[in-house]
Homo-oligomer: A and B are copies of this chain.
Amino acid sequence: MATPMTRPFPSFEPVNPPVHGGREVALFAGCPELLGTPFSYGREEEIYGEGEDADVVYRVVDGAVRTHKVLGDGRRQITGFHLPGDLFGFEQGEAHRHSAEALSDTKVLIFRRSAIQRAAARNADVACHLWNMATRGLRHAQDHMLLLGRRSAVERVATFLIDVDERLGGTGTFALPMTRRDIADYLGLTIETVSRTLSQLEEAGTLLRTGGRQVSLRLQRLRRVVED
């Protein structure tokens, strides 16, 4: 476990960009009083489930997390993938209305909601930051609603690949950190459709697959597929 220390972010605004291997334990820059407790989860381990008490908020330090909702018959919608730097676990009421699991071995920082609220009351910057965090999430949700409601399978997959690439550094070459099932449940498709669509994109020379999860994107062409 990393020893608690206060290394603030260089800039105020971008909390999102990955901070692989970071050892920050403060929730926000310039807020040394709001410290998080390091914690680890194994691959596929549940972080919290629907209905559980929502008295803490998490920040990913290393690894990746998915949050999702399920229907009674098992249909699942993944609402987001959370990479290093991302916050997740906000909840309006007492209990979680969705679940969270680690995609791979994952390190997080845990912050008590009560402590956050106390800090927000004392420090205007913290309050502002929280507001930004939440509206950032709202924006992502709105984008994703547009994708789920109005985009075709190819567009969904292309959008997804571009997005993951950006969040992983933007080199165009990376290993997808999740299974086809997770991708399908995020995009509102089936694994078969995701698979077929990837094959179709590869056939069109829009990407290259080398081994199971590894992909190389032709970003130009991929962006032309999305066209928004």
Contacts and interface: CB of A to CB of B under 8 A. Distances in A.
A159 to B, nearest CB: 11
Query: What is the predominant secondary structure among interface residues of chain A facing chain B?
Result: helix
Interface string A121-141: 110100110111011111101
A47 to B, nearest CB: 16
Contacts of A118: 124
Query: Size band of the A side of the interface?
Result: 35 or more
A122 B91 CA distance: 23
Give this chain's copy count: 2
A179 interface: no
B228 A148 contact: no
Interface stretch (A33-41, A72-80, A165-173): A72-80
A141 B145 contact: yes
11 contacts: A69-B142, A72-B228, A79-B146, A92-B139, A117-B124, A122-B124, A127-B127, A134-B135, A134-B138, A138-B141, A145-B145
Given A92-B136, A121-B128, A148-B149, 5 more contacts: A91-B135, A97-B139, A118-B124, A120-B120, A127-B127
